[in-house]
Each structure stands twice: as C-alpha cells, then as structure tokens.
Structure 1
Amino acid sequence: MILYGLKSCDTCRKALKSMPDAQFRDVREDGVPQGVLESAYAALGDALLNTRSTTWRALNEAERVDTPLSLIAKHPTLMKRPLIEKDGEFFLGWSKDVQAALV
C-alpha cells in the first residue's frame, strides 16, 4: 500500500498513523509517477483535483483551463490527499468509508 500526500498535512499524518505498514510518498518532494496519476484519474475522475486549495486559488484563469492531469503534474499540491493505492485500487481522502475499507 502506498500513501501519496504531504508531510505537513494533518489528514495524511492521521492516515499514515492508522496504517503503519503503508509506504509514504511526499508529493512535493517525490511527485506522483505519471502512470499512477493516469490510473488514479481514470478511477476517480475530477475528484482528484482539489479546487479548494490555496494552490488552486493562486492560479490565474488561463492556468486553470489546463487538464487536471497536467495541473497536478505541474503543481502536485493540487491533488486531493491522501491518495492511497492498494492492490491497484485507489482511495481518496480519509473519510469513514476509506478508513473502513483500509483499516
């Protein structure tokens, strides 16, 4: 199981604490492999893009029209977190449903 997130994100830290065997990848330092991004986007769609983030608000209208995958590749912090990959299946966030499925 791989958890993609940020070291400074409280939700990512909670998720990682609940799943001590998960590998952690910091999206700011390591990025997200393009294949993983494409698979996650195919599974989760536009939910993968966090349009409520400060990074999103800092983008101008011309930058926002880019595809979600391109935006996340350029600005990894635009990805909703945590993104958790387990056995080829993707989970987004740390809601009760995600916790029940993984813990």
Structure 2
Amino acid sequence: MTPELEKLTSLEILELGDGGTYEIRPTHFKLGKTTIHTIRQPEGKEIQVLRLWVEKKDKQVGPNYWDITSQTLIAQMLPYFAATGWLGRTFKITK
C-alpha cells in the first residue's frame, strides 16, 4: 500500500523555457501532491510534486525551495534520493 502524500502549498514551481537548463544542489527533499486545474479537467486533478530545498545563496528570492511538477522528471530523480550519496551533488535539469 502506498502511503498518503501530504498536500503541498505555497508552490515555487521550477519552470524552464525550451532548451533551458538549471543546476540545483538540494539539501533535502519531500514528495507531496497538489491539485491542478486544466481545460480538460477543470474540476481538478491531483499530481505528485517533488519539493527540493536549496541553500539560501542558491535561491535568494522567495522560499529556499523549488517544486518540480514534471512527472517524468520526478520519476527520473527519485531513484537518486532513494540511494545514499546524493547530498552535496549538483543536478543539471534541462528542458
């Protein structure tokens, strides 16, 4: 049985333009969920959110975390966080 994910609020969604890249050095992470409203599902749809906290020097405006909503990127990153040795590692995200 999958544990219930906490609903995350105050999202700081990491958005990249086409071909954009961003390097992120997470200090800790949390897998949660949020509800999005789309044209096809105006009533709302729950999706997973991967919240990655970073040092304040790496994100000087707003809260010191980024929220990732790309389900493909979440699936690619979670195995790294399930293993040891990710702390202090820099991840390069490219769209």
Kindly indicate which of the two structures has a greater share of residues assigned to strand.
2
User: TM over 0.5: same fold?
Assistant: no
TM-score, length of structure 2 as denominator length: 0.28
Structure showing greater Rg: 2
TM-score scaled to structure 1, two decimals? 0.27
Q: Going by fraction, where is helix more abundant, 1 or 2?
A: 1
